[in-house]
A = this chain, B = another copy of it.
Amino acid sequence: MKDIVNIGLAGFGTVGGATYEVLKRNARDLTRRTGVAMRVTRVVCRNQQKARARLNGDDVQLSSDWHDLVDDPSLDVVVEVMGGIEPAKSLVMAAIKAGKHVVTANKAMLATYGNEIFSAADAKGVTVAFEASVAGGIPIIKALREGLSANRIEWIAGIINGTSNFILSTMRDTGASFDACLAKAQELGYAEADPTFDIEGQDAAHKITILSALAFGTPVNYGAAMIEGISKLEAVDIRYAEELGYRIKLLGITKRTSEGVELRVHPALVPMRRLMASVEGVMNAVVVKGDAVGTVMLHGRGAGGEPTASAVIADLCDVSRMLANGNSPVPIFGEHDQEVGWLPIEKTVSSYYLRIGVKDEPGVLADVSRVFADNAISVESMMQKEAPVGASGTEIVIMTHSTTEGAIRRAVRTIEALESVTSRVVLLRKEELN
């Protein structure tokens, strides 16, 4: 049983720095809550000078080699907030091997190497905590692992990339193009110079991969994710969706079906009356549907120094309470559920929004309708729209009833080959979230 917990920090950027500050600022409350004093005694980072300024004379060992954390026998916990796969993964594996508990915010690392990392930790009897890896300050990992543990989880849907949600909110508010709104996001510091990971959906896919494994008791399987970003989204589809009563959000979705688990990231039409449709700007939100609880939504800041530090320190509190009470760690994932597999994307069931550029001539609607009928896809509504300025012909916007991804893809291929169709088909999925 300990009354002081010694912490080593790997990374002293936005999140590492905020973690240090909040630990210091709220030290009294943290000790009251956990029964121990948590103190950062060692920091490893690249920019020593900046770090020294921020440490402001505090008694903390500072160096640039992550091995120093592993080799320091006084450290109880290593906090990994460097980001990126390497050297983060080597550090985490070495820290586990040295018998240290690990707290990490690294979604890319966990979505890719989580299985290896978690089984090493279980074997060694240490914990790897990762609340900060998904949705920043929102305690969604704890909610899934503990707060909702009574439930058989049916699905999870999350707005879990603030950059994309800011861009989509701005596109809707201003009617501006994706490129213009991305530029705005970059100007405000909400998007990085290279925004690929955020706007193409990989970041959201890392996060939903982690949530999926927790919810369904499966190994993490980033490779199973279907990923579609928002960079090709056009303002006109946001407008049409509004007319139909929907907002477009980039969702990470994982769903349990009788045939396997779905794992996907894509822009989706969400009914306006759902709270999820009102999640604006850089905010994140996750909805969990459980068999007993129904839907539960958690909403908050998904990124930024202090919100992420909030999650890192929550994990540190858990580890500290465990050390304070002389308790052994609870296994991270529990047993994997051997009965659960993954659903091939073609078998995913959804309703769809399609926008199709067509020649303005008789018979076009009949041709298109025929394709849906041939693929046994039932159409909910069909609207004819004026073509954008400068374009010839007209556009039709179609909402379907539920069908499979396989069927809709076949239909799209056939439609695009029609002589009367003048553009590629814009295809978006609809999620009712109820």
Please, which residue of chain B has its CB at the minimum distance from the CB of A339? B28
Q: A25: shortest Cβ distance to chain B, in Å? A: 7
Contact flags A136-180 to B (C-beta < 8 A → 1, else 0): 011100110111111110000000000000000000000000000
A29 within 8 A of B: yes
Q: Considering residues A299, A310, A337, which has the most beta carbons from chain B within 10 angstroms of its beta carbon?
A: A310
A to B CB contacts below 8 Å, 19 in the list: A26-B151, A142-B147, A143-B147, A147-B147, A148-B310, A150-B312, A150-B313, A150-B314, A290-B310, A292-B306, A292-B307, A293-B301, A293-B310, A294-B307, A295-B301, A296-B299, A325-B327, A325-B329, A327-B328
Q: Verify A317–B143 contact, CB threshold 8 A.
A: no
Please, which residue of chain B has its CB at the minimum distance from the CB of A139? B147
Q: Which residues of B contact A311 (CB under 8 A)?
A: 150, 293
Contact of A143 among B139, B293, B316 (CB under 8 A): B139
Q: Which residues of B contact A310 (CB under 8 A)?
A: 148, 150-151, 290, 292-293
- Partner-contacting stretch, out of A4-12, A32-40, A368-376, A421-429: A32-40
Q: Considering residues A34, A150, A293, A329, which has the most beta carbons from chain B within 10 angstroms of its beta carbon?
A: A150
**Residues in A384-415 with C-beta less than 8 Å from chain B:** none
Please, which residue of chain B has its CB at the minimum distance from the CB of A29? B152
Q: Which residues of B contact A291 (CB under 8 A)?
A: 22, 25-26, 306
A299 CA to B149 CA in the complex, in Å? 17
A300 within 8 A of B: yes
Q: A297: shortest Cβ distance to chain B, in Å? A: 4
A330 within 8 A of B: yes
A18 within 8 A of B: yes
Contact of A26 among B25, B150, B330 (CB under 8 A): B150
Other 7 A-B pairs with CB < 8 A, given A32-B337, A139-B147, A292-B313? A29-B152, A30-B149, A139-B142, A142-B146, A275-B279, A291-B306, A292-B306
Q: Considering residues A145, A279, A334, which has the most beta carbons from chain B within 10 angstroms of its beta carbon?
A: A334
Contact of A307 among B35, B293, B300 (CB under 8 A): B293
A298 within 8 A of B: yes
A83 within 8 A of B: no
Q: Which residues of B contact A337 (CB under 8 A)?
A: 29, 32
Q: Verify B150–A317 contact, CB threshold 8 A.
A: yes
Q: Which residues of B contact A138 (CB under 8 A)?
A: 296
Q: Which residues of B contact A309 (CB under 8 A)?
A: 150, 292
Q: Verify B331–A35 contact, CB threshold 8 A.
A: yes
Contact of A150 among B30, B278, B327 (CB under 8 A): B30
A34 CA to B298 CA in the complex, in Å? 24
A131 within 8 A of B: yes
